[in-house]
Structure 1
Amino acid sequence: MKWNLNFKRKADQNKPKKSKTREWFDAILFAVVASTIIRGLLFSAYAIPSGSMEGTLLTGDYLFVSKFNYGPRMPITPVSVPFLEARIGGFKTYWDGLQLPYYRLPGLSSLKKGDVVVFNLPSDSLNGPVDMKTNYIKRCQAEPGDVLTIVNSQVYVNGKAAKNAPKAQTSYVVSTDGQELNPQVIHDLHIEVYQQLTNTDFIMIIPVDSYNSFKSYSAIKSIKPYLDPTGQFDPGIFPHNALYKWNNDNFGPLKLPKKGWKIRLNDSTVALYSRAIQNYEGNKLTHVGNNYFVNGAKADTYTFKENYYWMMGDNRHNSEDSRVWGYVPEQNIVGKAMITWMSIDSTENIFNKVRWSRILRPIE
């Protein structure tokens, strides 16, 4: 007796063959699902639209951002159009009828001071889900529980001077002898003329690599750091309260909220932490007479439910960062910036647009 050992092959032969349309549909579906998983859980590509991180990151840099370093954040808004911004032409590309609680998978490491981080802007005017808010990129300066102080533009954390980025930028008052500065020199040295004070005095943002060259020009009489003085109150600086006369260059001390940390509720602490208590942790905080109420119940203290970070741009005088809008909640963290894979300089001609030296360059 002979056994038919080819019955599986015959069964396969009897299956109807997929049409070309079906094959293309399956391939596109697989590509969309695979890329959505990779983009959502592993890494994403981002572009730098402004100069707040110069000279670490330049306008026109394209980055890969690792989401698994700190642990992938599970989608809070699972129903959205893949690969599109949250809003296009005033229309939402997501449905906020379904919202999932915040949850993050385990990561390779925790977020540390000095990391360059992509996060969802806490103060985004878009009253929508956290994961649909605008993406920002800054350097982490302080972790939960740290005490942060800025003295004459130098950041101190827990009393110790923080390491500055190798190419961090700041502003200078530049005094000239009255000669008109050559625009080509300004362009070639990547200097930004921020403000003209008089016919001979300017506020300029000067890259570290250009400082000595620029200073050597005969038209330059002096270059001095531009700093907001101690005790000068800037209402645009967090916490936007005259109880704290802080500014861009002289700020704090301020303790970063940490999960489980308990504070006493009074005018001073509420000025510093009410945004976290109400906007980020979802409570209603009211003040009646000498008493504070949390969600309608009288409260003398408050215990934080989440961790918070402090983010600042490396281009210190051209960066809207935590000095303006305060803490970044842990749930807003997207991932760690790892490498620039492309860099385009829109100010150059077509032959010099690509910054070849920045391609596949690790981010420090």
Structure 2
Amino acid sequence: MKWNFPLKKNTGTTKPRKTKKREWFDALLFALIASTVIRGLIFSAYAIPSGSMEGTLLTGDYLFVSKISYGPRMPFTPVQNPFLESTITKYHIKTYWDGIKLPYFRLPGLTTIKKGDIVVFNKPEEADPAYDKPVDVRTNLIKRCQATPGDVLTIVNSQVYINGKAAPNAEKAQTSYRVITSGDMINPDIFRDMNIEVCQQVDLNTYEMIIPKEQLTTFKGFSYIKSVIPVVEPVGSYDANVFPHNERFKWNADNFGPLTLPKIGMSVPLNQENLILYRRAIELYEHNKVELEGKDILINGKKAKSYTFKMNYYWMMGDNRHNSLDSRFWGYVPEDHVIGKALITWMSVDSTKTFPNKIRWNRLLKPID
């Protein structure tokens, strides 16, 4: 038996080769798509611009932040330049187009946010209409999660309590101290070598300083140091800068609460007190219209006796307690603002030094905890 297979006809033509311009275009297009997918769904690199997390994280640290840990958040504003910040501040140029706005959606993650996690999120304060910014182009912040949805948070003399129990403090947490000296001049090199920040000099002998915990004993031992006392705002001292910015709650950064963190499905009765505590979440984060008519509270034009939350909320604070603008000042962080979990410091640069001392070699590829 003969088997006859059709042979491919040779047309005598060859596929035309791509031009150099086309090859470069294809390569750049692939790089753009790959970087957008990686940055959007897997991880991103972030820099620490301020000292709010010192000494856990240092100004000049560069971090890898995992987005798959808590689940990748799909973009609210899909048309963005993935290589630039949302706004080029110097020229006030937006690098995104908000003509398309998508609803909040997050893919499943490997875990949920735990107390003690170091989390990157968008700044909730910029939900105020004056900023006019979509969620995913708001300023990125990094803080430690202190309370999760449903927790009751209280701060007593700078110590955080969750559901009545003292929360563990970060190993290298910092705070400020009132330092009284003998009046002798202090060598400025001591501040640099011991990473001490002088916040203010009250008078000739009195200073307010942020002193790393590991340097405290040594600093107290200097002959010209008379006393070192933690700075703590007293109970009942009202600070208008502190959430919820209302004299009915005489709270400050060191003595705060109790406050229950909203949880998805949690209902709260709507009264004057709860409205002060939760109006921001109900109105700005969950996009309802809140009105007062006499003693009645209206949600979207209808009289309401209670409100049920649609999202989870978290409480984030910096480890450098007296040098951190955090949840104590602008309230809870909604789940749709969460970007990811800080995993590793891949580079760290000290801008006050010169190369090679500029690189903090001991912090390269250091896990974050």
Against the structure 1 CA distance between its residues 213 and 18, is the aligned structure 2 distance closer, same or farther, given a 3 Å change threshold? Answer: same
Amino acid at match of 1:170: T
Match of 1:119 among 111, 118, 121: 121
Any idea what SS the aligned residue of 1:268 has?
A: helix
Runs of 4+ in 1 over 2 A off after TM superposition: 1-8, 10-13
Task: Give the equivalent residue in structure 2 for 1:178.
Answer: 183
Taking structure 1 as reference, are residues 219 and 28 closer, same or farther at Cα in structure 2, changes over 3 Å only? same
Alignment match, 2:64: 64
CA distance in 1, matches of 2:163, 2:267: 19
Distance 1:3 1:15, change over 3 A: farther
Aligned to 1:110: 112
What letter is aligned with 1:276? A
Matched, 1:149 2:154: yes
What's the TM-score once normalised by structure 1's chain length?
0.97
**Structure 1: runs of 5 or more not aligned:** none
Relative distance call for 1:13 and 1:311 in structure 2 (3 A) is: farther
The alignment covers a number of residue pairs equal to 363
CA 1:294/1:341 → structure 2, altered by over 3 Å: closer, same or farther?
same
C-alpha displacement of 1:126: 2.6
The one-letter code of the counterpart of 1:215 is K
Conservation of the 8 A alpha-carbon contact between 2:78 and 2:100: yes
| Matched ranges for 1:315-334 at <5 A | 315-334=320-339
- Alpha-carbon distance, 1:197 to partner: 1.4
Deviations 1:228-283 (A, max 9, x none): 00110000000000010000100000000011111111111011001001010111
Equivalent-residue separation in structure 2 for 1:12 and 1:224 (angstroms): 89
Residue-by-residue CA offset, 1:3-43 (whole Å, 9 max, x unaligned): 889849x6897211111221121111111111110000000
Please give the secondary structure, in 2, of the residue aligned with 1:123. helix
> Which residue is equivalent to 1:221?
226
1:349 CA displacement: 2.6
Amino acid at match of 1:90: H
Secondary structure, in 3 states, of the residue corresponding to 2:35?
helix
In structure 1, C-alpha distance between the alignment counterparts of 2:79 and 2:102, rounded to whole Å? 10
Aligned partners of 2:35 and 2:82 also within 8 Å: no
**TM-score with structure 2 length normalisation?**
0.95
Match for 1:135 among 125, 134, 140?
140
Q: Structure 2: state its 5+ residue gaps.
A: none
How far did 1:351 drift? 3.2
Q: Distance in 1 between matches of 2:317 and 2:29?
A: 40
Aligned equivalents of 2:15, 2:284: Cα separation in 1: 58
Distance in 1, matches of 2:354 and 2:228, equals 31
* CA displacement, residues 143-174 of structure 1 (integer Å, 9 cap, x when unaligned): 00000000010000001111111100001111
3-state DSSP of counterpart to 2:145: strand
SS at match of 2:116: coil
CA distance in 1, matches of 2:6, 2:222: 88
Amino acid at match of 1:308: Y
* RMSD (Å) for aligned C-alpha atoms: 1.7
Residue of structure 2 equivalent to 1:346 = 351
Whole-angstrom CA distance in 2 between matches of 1:69 and 1:12: 55
Correspondence list, 1:1-364, <5 A: 7=8, 14-88=14-88, 89-124=91-126, 126-364=131-369
- Aligned partner of residue 317 in structure 1, secondary structure: helix
Shift of residue 212, structure 1, vs aligned partner? 1.6
CA distance in 1: counterparts of 2:248 and 2:13, whole angstroms: 81
Displacement of 1:350 after TM fit?
A: 2.8
**Secondary structure at 2:59 match in 1:** coil
1:348 aligned counterpart, secondary structure: coil
Residue 353 of structure 1: how far off its partner (Å): 0.7
Contact kept? 2:236, 2:251, Cα under 8 Å: yes
Aligned AA (2:346): W
Alignment partner of 2:323: what SS? coil
Evaluate the alpha carbon distance shift between residue 12 and residue 232 of structure 1 in structure 2; reply closer, same or farther with a 3 A threshold: farther
Alpha-carbon distance in structure 2 between the residues aligned to 1:141 and 1:113 = 5
1:38-87 residue CA offsets vs partner (Å, 9 max, x unmatched): 00000000000000000000000000000000000011111112221111
